[in-house]
Amino acid sequence: MVSLYVTMMTVKVFRSPARHGYAVEVSPYIPSRVACAASQYYGIAGCGTLLVLDQTETGLTLVRSWEWSDGLFDVAWSEANEHILVAGGGDGSLQLWDTANHSAPLRVAKEHTQEVYTVDWSQTRGESLIVSGSWDQTVKVWDPALSPSLTTLRGHEGVIYSTIWSPHIPGCFASASGDGTLRIWDVKGAACRLAIPAHKAEILSCDWCKYDQNVVATGSVDCTVCVWDLRNIRQPVNQLLGHTYAIRRLKFSPFDKTVLASCSYDFTVRFWDYSRQQPLLDTVEHHSEFVCGLDFNLHIPNQVVDCSWDETVKVYTPACLSVGAHSAAP
The rounded radius of gyration (Å) of the Cα atoms in the chain is 18
C-alpha 65/C-alpha 265 separation (Å) is: 26
C-alpha 232/C-alpha 308 separation (Å) is: 35
Residue 149 three-state SS: coil
Percentage, residues of the chain above pLDDT 90: 90
Q: Does the predicted model carry a pTM greater than 0.75?
A: yes
**Start-to-end C-alpha separation, the chain:** 37
Amino acid 42: pLDDT: 75
Task: Read off the pLDDT band of 41 (50, 70, 90).
Answer: confident
Task: For residue 319, report the phi and psi dihedrals to the nearest 5 degrees.
Answer: -55, -35
| 38 within domain boundaries | yes
| 12 within domain boundaries | no
C-alpha 88/C-alpha 91 separation (Å) is: 9
Give the structural domain span for 34. Answer: 24-123+136-154
C-alpha 13/C-alpha 44 separation (Å) is: 25
Mean per-residue pLDDT over the chain, rounded: 94
Amino acid 325: pLDDT: 57
C-alpha 85/C-alpha 26 separation (Å) is: 11
| 29 within domain boundaries | yes
| 145 within domain boundaries | yes
C-alpha 86/C-alpha 97 separation (Å) is: 6
Give the mean pLDDT of 91-106. Answer: 93
Query: C-alpha distances in angstroms, 108 versus 6, 47, 94, 137, 145?
Result: 41, 16, 6, 20, 10
Query: Is residue 177 a contact partner of residue 203, using CB atoms and an 8 Å limit?
Result: yes
Query: Is residue 150 a contact partner of residue 142, using CB atoms and an 8 Å limit?
Result: yes
Q: Burial-class residue 132 by CB neighbours within 10 Å (0-12, 13-18, 19+).
A: buried
Amino acid 324: pLDDT: 57
**Res 30 pLDDT > 50:** yes
Residue 325 three-state SS: helix
CATH number at residue 57: 2.130.10.10
Amino acid 326: pLDDT: 56
Amino acid 44: pLDDT: 78
| 130 within domain boundaries | no
C-alpha 46/C-alpha 202 separation (Å) is: 26
Amino acid 103: pLDDT: 83
DSSP run (H or E) holding 259 = strand 259-264
Q: Any idea what DSSP says for residue 42?
A: G
Amino acid 322: pLDDT: 82
pLDDT, tens digit (0-9, with 9 covering 90-100), for 183-209? 999 999 999 999 999 999 999 999 999
DSSP run (H or E) holding 243 = none
Q: Any idea what DSSP says for residue 179?
A: T
| 90 within domain boundaries | yes
Give the mean pLDDT of 121-136. Answer: 92
Q: CA quadruple 270, 124, 96, 153: dihedral positive or negative? A: negative
| 50 within domain boundaries | yes
Question: Domain count of the chain?
Answer: 1
C-alpha 59/C-alpha 12 separation (Å) is: 5
| 167 within domain boundaries | no
